[in-house]
Amino acid sequence: MDALGYRKKIGIVMPSTNTSVQPESDDLRVPGVTNHVARIAIQERPLSSEQAFMEHVASMKAGIGEAIDRVMTCGPDHLIMGVALEAFWGGVKQAESLIRELEERSGVGVSMGSNAMSAALTAFGAKRIGVLTPHQPRGDAMVRLYFEEAGFEVINLKGLKCQSPRLIAHTTAAEIRAGLREVDGENIDALVQVGTNLAGGAVCAEAERWLEKPVLSINVVSYWHALRAVGIEDRKPGFGRILEEF
């Protein structure tokens, strides 16, 4: 039995430029559960052109398998795929196909932002959503496509158009708060923040108090989904209703 991960070990795959998934996931650990990361090597580059954006997407997809192979050498019980774009790309069928592919390669269950967020929205009974992303328009279109195919109505969506992978993490709490207010509305059941390098966990938990509705951050929801998938039912206060109520 692992001395520290004596309940479960969670493997997390993320882009090399990402500085938010690891610390946010570590904040969510519960006793006896440990996190173990592997990084997909990608370039830090401007994403202002369509070509650069698509090359960025391709490089992430190409590196996922090797990153999984590396992290699996420590024997995790479950994987979190901390790459938001790939999780939503191509809609529901492609996302489900990717999950099957990653589960076959790793031999364990996989939580992605897409299937985790769908499960969280379903838990709250939310149908009409507002979505905040760090993406360029092509990425926003993929996020919208996934949620609409999954049965949700995307009322509002705002992409922050962050200029590079690393700079996503430079988005301030004030900017995230402003974005959440912009995509909110009286006819919206829940707000969704995607983009795993967008450090929205604390801001979204805070926003639930003043918006009086679920505000779901992708890294928090992915970790919640992973814990529940391996039978860890601990409630974790302070990080949003999803970890406190479900």
Please enumerate in sequence order all residues whose Cβ is within 8 A of that of 116, keeping only pairs 6 or more positions apart, or say none. Answer: 218, 221, 222, 224, 225, 226
The SS3 call for residue 68 is helix
Going by the DSSP 8-state scheme, the letter that residue 113 receives in this structure is H
189: closest CA among 241, 129, 147, 245?
Answer: 129
112: closest CA among 133, 94, 138, 136?
Answer: 94
d(CA 17, CA 118): 26
pLDDT 10s per residue in the chain (246 long)?
Answer: 999 999 999 999 999 999 999 999 999 999 999 999 999 998 888 887 778 777 877 888 888 999 999 999 999 999 999 998 889 999 999 999 999 999 999 999 999 999 999 999 999 999 999 999 999 999 999 999 999 999 999 999 999 999 999 999 999 999 999 999 999 999 999 999 999 999 999 999 999 999 999 999 999 999 999 999 999 999 999 999 999 999
Going by the DSSP 8-state scheme, the letter that residue 77 receives in this structure is S
pLDDT at 236: 95
Strands 190-193 and 153-159: what pairing?
unpaired
Q: Which residue has the tokens 């996302």?
A: 95
Proportion of the chain in helix, strand, coil states, percent, rounded to 5: 50, 20, 35
pLDDT at 52: 78
Domains and their CATH numbers in the chain: 8-112+220-245 (3.40.50.12500), 116-218 (3.40.50.12500)
210 sits in which H/E element = helix 201-211
The SS3 call for residue 174 is helix
